[in-house]
Chains A and B, each alone.
Chain A
Amino acid sequence: MTMDIDTQQMLVDSARRWAEQACSKVERQAVSNHTVGCPPERWRALGELGWLGMALPEEDGGLDAGLPALCLLTEQLGRALLVEPFVASAILSSGLLAEVATGELRREWLPMLSTGERRVVWMAWEPDGGGALNAPSAIATAHSAGWQLQGEKGLMPGAGGADGLLVTARMPGDQNHVGLFLVDTQTPGASLHSTPLYDGRHGARLSLVQAQGRLLHEAPADAMAALLERVLIQGQVAHCAETLGCAQAAFEITLDYVRSRKQFGRALSDNQVIQHRLVDLYVEQQEARALCLAAAAEGTPERAAALGARVSEVARNTWGEAIQLHGAIGMTEEYVLGEYVRRLALAADLYGSAASHLDRLAHLSLDTTP
């Protein structure tokens, strides 16, 4: 299903209105101060708004809103500096579970993901921060009671406080077979090590020591990697939309500032050097936004890699230029820009750094015949 333009606009408006109340500085601070950065009652409130089901199929109690609509939403959430791990959990991870869950497990989990009663997180990264979609380092062994998992997963935003974790592991016997498991966070042997991140969000890494997991899906490594990449691209595109929303807000704050700040008897924005630098930022952002919406409509691996690279650069340029154009005030904790700076700085490296996206794009363009 794709949302028509009017419905999309209603979604954007309602997100904006909600964020004005629910994402004030005081509220954001409270969420950041929560032990894992995601208070359950606030998460359920997102479910009541219908947002947690947007990435889920209708027959599972979701809205199946499509990635373009999700991107318009996450753009607003990025503007509002939402602390909760909406992209990591409600798009990337719910999306993956919906791809693979079947039968009783599906009926048990998916409706509760929609309402916010449960939250799932895919531990998508290896301890070294890489994706290794076709060669996870964790291993699975079969026991009489079921599957046991052994290994480590790297820092993942939003993992703390999740009810279920999705993890990949190599299957016994055949090194080229990969399994995708659901691990209950209460299971003995599964320990999440949470930490606040520098942008006010929280993340956690995972240790699995003979931890029980339920096998959701098993496939040859390449087939599994293809499935995971498809889902990862969805999350990455939504993350880019969120980041661009944040970048647009930081840009607007900067624009207002240089208009009102006077030096040498005139507004900073009267100087052509300032104007042209603002134009460069604006153009880069608009271009990246166009690419983001194109990738949401059709997420080819090429587009996704290009998007990742461009948005990383836009995020970095935006926070750097925003500070420079503000002057010293831009570096302070108390001024409103600070939170945007931290969010953008971290966002540039989540879901793959600019360098890794460029590597991928180079591979796609140079190592294959067009």
Chain B
Amino acid sequence: MNEHTNLSQFRQSVDRFVRERLPADLRQTVRQGQQSTREQLIRWHEVLAAQGWLVPHWPAEWGGRDWSVSQQMAFDEAMALGDAPELNSVTFDMIGPVLMRYGSPEQQRRFLPTIASGRQWWCQGYSEPNAGSDLASVVTRAEREGDVYVVNGSKIWTSYGQYADWIFALVRTRREGKPQEGISFLLIDMKSPGITVRPIVGVHGWVVFNEVFFDNVRVPVELRVGEENGGWTVAKSLLEFERLKLARIGENKRRMARAREVGLSRWREGRRVADWPWYRTRFADLHARLIALEANAERFVARQMAGEKIGPEVSMLKLRGSRLIQLWEELIVDALGSEAAPLSPDWLLNQPGATSQDALAGTASSRRFLARGYTIAGGSSEIQHNILAKQVLGL
């Protein structure tokens, strides 16, 4: 740790920072479980960037602070508990580190400072209608015409594509041979002629997903990362970045705090929800799981800090952390009862006797649906099971 020797002191300074500097409108949006706008998020990025806390886990060379994993995790936790929005990991944890490792010097100079400033948004063009977990079967093709690739096809489930300035995409540059060996990794400007974004409204009412269509989109060859047909290696390396964060300890603690707040403030049949046996047992069960998850994550953190390699075993953190978030959201909805039913928090806030806590209720159902994404995106739980079965248990 180069900046703060005392982790808890550091936590306090982050707590204070979030309390004082997180814009009130954004905090409200996050607390109410509503979707933040691009403008709100970019504004927050700029506040963080000014503090040096937008990409602290990056090396100093690129505007980072070389934070250790444990410092990064403490930071994430304080942010989550302070009702700050989850940062777009595609931008800060994926493409940034990919460019540092595989990007050309020109690509690095062109993109990394802008990403570190917080003003550029990236999305990930991996999945296609017929290539979800089975990514190697992507068919969006890029044909070489002199110094450009001409890209045709479509990507789907592109998270926050509607906010994005750039997309990094896996495209097919060769149809012969093994499917993995005919894929290239391209950086594509979302303003390029021929790109159409179709937002897909989710069951939660949010637009997270998009379908992105490419119709003769011309991409300069110098925006390819890695070798032609060598994109699979680059794509796979994404899975190695920030895997410890996938335990989502902070996000789980945020939900626990909400579940607790709802339990302590709501009454059912003359009895506080937090005094009902069903609530207590479920809360304690999830809390016990969270304490265990945290102890397990610390084991991997210690390993990483000691310079040891983090093996495929780390998949268990994602498996458990993502599921646990869903279980918290279910408990919150159950604890709210009919209060969770209205579509918008505004209705509740306008009821007689409403308190600000009621903001928690309005969109509990949205959050519960959103949480289902955690076990699908970034390698579904089934894929994590397969990884653990094959690479750890040797089955």
Contact = CB atoms under 8 A, between A and B. Distances in A.
Interface stretch (A68-76, A182-190, A303-311): A303-311
8 contacts: A276-B382, A279-B385, A282-B392, A287-B293, A287-B295, A291-B291, A309-B288, A360-B284
Q: Among the interface residues B263, B292, B313, B316, which one has the most CB atoms of the partner chain A within 10 A?
A: B292
A275 B316 contact: no
Nearest to B381: A276
A361 interface: yes
A366 B395 CA distance: 42
Contacts of A272: 386, 389
B393 interface: yes
Contacts of A283: 316, 319-320, 388
B285 interface: yes
Given A275-B395, A309-B285, A366-B274, A291 B386 contact: no
Interface in A335-370: 355, 357-362, 365-366
Contact of A276 (B291, B292, B385): B385
Q: Among the interface residues B274, B298, B299, which one has the most CB atoms of the partner chain A within 10 A?
A: B299
B280 A279 contact: no
B295 A366 contact: no
A176 interface: no
B296 interface: yes
B16 interface: no
Nearest to A312: B288
B283 interface: yes
Contacts of B175: none
Given A310-B292, A362-B280, A362-B283, 18 more contacts: A269-B395, A275-B386, A275-B393, A275-B395, A276-B389, A279-B393, A280-B385, A283-B320, A291-B291, A293-B295, A305-B288, A306-B291, A358-B281, A361-B284, A361-B287, A361-B288, A365-B287, A366-B283
B384 to A, nearest CB: 8
Interface string B306-318: 0000000100100
A279 B295 contact: no
5 smallest A-B Cβ distances: which pairs?
A275-B389, A306-B291, A362-B280, A306-B288, A362-B284
Nearest to B283: A362
Given A286-B316, A291-B296, A310-B292, A365 B388 contact: no
Q: Among the interface residues A286, A287, A305, which one has the most CB atoms of the partner chain B within 10 A?
A: A287
Interface in A170-210: none
Interface in B282-340: 283-285, 287-289, 291-293, 295-296, 298-299, 313, 316, 319-320
B389 A287 contact: no
A294 interface: yes
Contacts of A357: 284, 288
Given A275-B393, A278-B393, A279-B385, A288 B287 contact: no
Contacts of A361: 284, 287-288
A355 B388 CA distance: 30
A290 interface: yes
Interface in A253-287: 255, 259, 269-270, 272, 275-276, 278-280, 282-283, 286-287
Interface of A: 255, 259, 269-270, 272, 275-276, 278-280, 282-283, 286-288, 290-291, 293-295, 302-303, 305-307, 309-310, 355, 357-362, 365-366
Contacts of A278: 389, 393, 395
Q: Among the interface residues A293, A305, A366, which one has the most CB atoms of the partner chain B within 10 A?
A: A366
Contact of B281 (A286, A294, A305, A362): A362
B292 to A, nearest CB: 4
B281 to A, nearest CB: 5
B264 interface: yes
A306 B287 contact: yes
Contacts of B11: none
Contact of B296 (A270, A287, A355): A287
B113 to A, nearest CB: 39
A362 B280 CA distance: 6
B284 A358 contact: yes
B395 A359 contact: no
A360 B382 CA distance: 34
B260 interface: yes
A302 B285 CA distance: 12
B291 A303 contact: yes
B7 to A, nearest CB: 15
A365 B393 contact: no
A182 to B, nearest CB: 35
A263 to B, nearest CB: 16
A361 B256 CA distance: 14
Given A269-B395, A283-B319, A287-B316, A306 B292 contact: yes
B388 A290 contact: no
Given A303-B291, A366-B283, A294 B389 contact: no
A359 B284 contact: yes
Nearest to A271: B395
Given A291-B296, A310-B292, A279 B284 contact: no
Q: Among the interface residues B274, B280, B288, B295, which one has the most CB atoms of the partner chain A within 10 A?
A: B288
A357 B285 CA distance: 9
Contacts of A270: 395
Contact of B288 (A276, A279, A310): A310
A302 B291 contact: yes
A255 B393 contact: yes
B289 to A, nearest CB: 7
Contacts of A358: 280-281, 284-285, 288
A293 B294 CA distance: 12
Given A269-B395, A278-B393, A362-B283, A290 B299 contact: yes
A270 to B, nearest CB: 8
Contacts of A365: 260, 283-284, 287
A276 B383 CA distance: 10
Nearest to B293: A287
